[in-house]
Amino acid sequence: MSATRPSAQPPAHEHHAAVQGGHAAAGHPGQGAGGHTSHHAHMVADFRRRFWVSLALTVPVLALARHIQGWLGLHGALAFPGDAWVQFVLATAIFFYGGWPFLTGLVAEVRTLRPGMMTLIGLAIAVAYVYSSAVVFGLRGEDFFWELATLIDIMLLGHWIEMKSVLGASAALESLVRLMPAEAHLIQSDGSTRDVPLTELRRGARVLVKPGEKIPTDGVIVEGNTSVNEAMLTGESRPVEKGQGATVIGGSVNGEGAVTVEVAKTGDETYLAQVIALVRQAQESRSRSQDLANRAAVWLTAVALGGGAVTIAAWLGLGASLPFAVERMVTVMVIACPHALGLAVPLVVAVSTALSAGNGLLIRDRSAFERARALDAIVFDKTGTLTEGRFGVTDVIPLAGRSAEDLLRLAASLESQSEHPIAAGVVRGARERDIAFAPPREFRAIPGKGAEARVDGVAVKVVSPGYLKAAGLAAEDPRVREAAEQGKTVVYVLVDDRLEGAIALADVIRPESREALGRLKAMGIRVMMLTGDATAVARWVARELALDEYFAEVLPDQKAAKIKEVQARGLTVAMTGDGVNDAPALVQADVGIAVGAGTDVAIESADIVLVRSDPRDVTAIVDLARATYRKMVQNLWWATGYNVLAIPVAAGVLYPVGILLTPAIGAVLMSASTVIVAFNARLLRLRR
């Protein structure tokens, strides 16, 4: 954007068109995200430079203007022969240098038959310049070079501030790009390391990641233990413990230990690359609100052009002087620029999408995201969504005098030698309750029935109901019967062949589920559950979580039909699942939300992908969708309401009561409305 080669400079209309199309922070197709930011930063610098140069040239133009001298009480004190020509030369420099972005924008919009903001500004400054120049060359009338100069200064300042806002909205996404380190420590065949660019990494290669360094790409730890900070990628604030066999995400920050990572994904396959692509896709996807804004902007442009013509004709018809009528026309065209309207939605989109991505909420479809604000019901898959998908101890039922703690200690000691999921659940239950246990002796599996061993000198067995029945034993206790009726898995603890108690296990309900569902219900949204599990299990989970409804024993191919049934009641429905068996239901729902996608973010069936397995993120999506919509509505009302009120004033309807706007004041008001819209969009970050 060199000042000496203006034709090489990307005209401002390109920026405006990009913003109107929803690209404010997304980057153009095929263009790197970093390149898009540098493009914006370059344009910000160009507008800043043009503003300061034009402002410096404006000072003598103002000093030589007769109106300004009169207001200052100088009355021609600074006049000298040829001062009009000096003003003309200075104003010409301001017009062509400061006004160049608007003039090139006018040409581009006319060439594509899409007149808009640049057309209005370009025509306004061209009319002002041509008329004032004609006065210098002999036309009867008064020039308004000073109005032209201040108008261009203010328009440049407004664009400079506005584009800095756009750049700020883009920054959150671009910070994701900057997460990746430039190089990696590649481990060579002889065990030494060599620093290489990330582009040289191949799947299967091994890299050393030292404490405090960024992990260069997605992979698996093959040596070492550490904690990893994934906050910028998933929104998880606490470091995550990682050991051998654990997956790591490129861009996350290694903690206290050096680890060797085997490269699993490179380039566009990585989690971070997919996140950036999804955010871009979301920001570029069409939005119903944006379509409304675009249609309003087209109408406003037509109104402004027509209003300018009517204004000059009306004032000339009323006997006003030509300079006065031209000034009113220019003011109308400036103040009516649909600039704020063009930015009203895209800036909110840019902020909300980048904000969500930084918290592990990835929006793939803007329209679906907008629908999330009006949800009537959210249907959750059970396993892996509301529950953790693993066994946990829910009840310990003593039957013969031993304490619940002692019973669980004996069972956990025995089961610590087994790899069965139920055994793992018993061991985990003891550890969660801080119950210490010693390793067993003489462990032996009882095929299909359980296991036995010696613990603390006694013979302990943990067995199934089938073993109990075959041994002629019975647990006649209402607590055991209730646990079984709830669909829980019940195992029995025998000590020296005497029935001492029972342990009930079930799929562990996530602690976050209660909070998430409570918040959704407080928002007026019905919460439901869809599961293939038995009715008894579903009934227990539904009661624990106070669900409004549940559907049990539903096969994967029947889930979409259930969603359709709920929609048939006239409800707007979201489906929340793991994105695998739930794919048909996710597609059928008005909003499909894939939860717990981890590093596999490219789930085609979902509209929104939540990286973490945390149902509270569903609440966060609804909350963000509602806040985003409020900001869009506020911006649209401000942008359109401002123009509706300002155009008649600009045309001079309040002139009889002494209120008259100059083009420069009109430019101030127009720029102010744009800055307010941009600032309001940024406030979305403070919604909490």
| Phi, psi at 260, each rounded to 5° | -105, 125
The length of the chain in residues reads 688
- Max CA distance (Å), the chain: 123
d(CA 405, CA 275): 47
8 Å CB contact between 552 and 575: no
Name the pairing type of β-strands 591-595 and 573-577. parallel
8 Å CB contact between 593 and 575: yes
Angle at CA 607, nearest 5°, toward 603 and 613?
65
Residue 51 C-alpha from the chain's centroid: 33
Tokens of 115: 């007149």
- From the list 383, 355, 385, the residue with the least C-alpha distance to 369 is 355
Q: Across-strand partners of 253?
A: 214, 229
Instruction: Tell me how far CA of residue 354 lies from CA of 166, 314, 577, 611, in angstroms.
Output: 12, 48, 23, 15
Q: Across-strand partners of 551?
A: 530
| Phi, psi at 530, each rounded to 5° | -125, 120
d(CA 153, CA 330): 15
Catalytic residue among 381, 533, 582, 617: 381
d(CA 420, CA 448): 11
Q: Which helix (H) or strand (E) holds 62?
A: helix 33-64
Is 365 in the active site?
no
User: Identity (one letter) of the amino acid at 149?
Assistant: A
Give the side-chain half-sphere CA count within 13 A for 296.
25
Find the helix packing angle between 100-111 and 117-136, rounded to 10°.
Answer: 120
Contacts of 375 (CB under 8 A, 6+ apart): 525, 572, 573, 574, 590, 591, 622
What residues act catalytically? 381
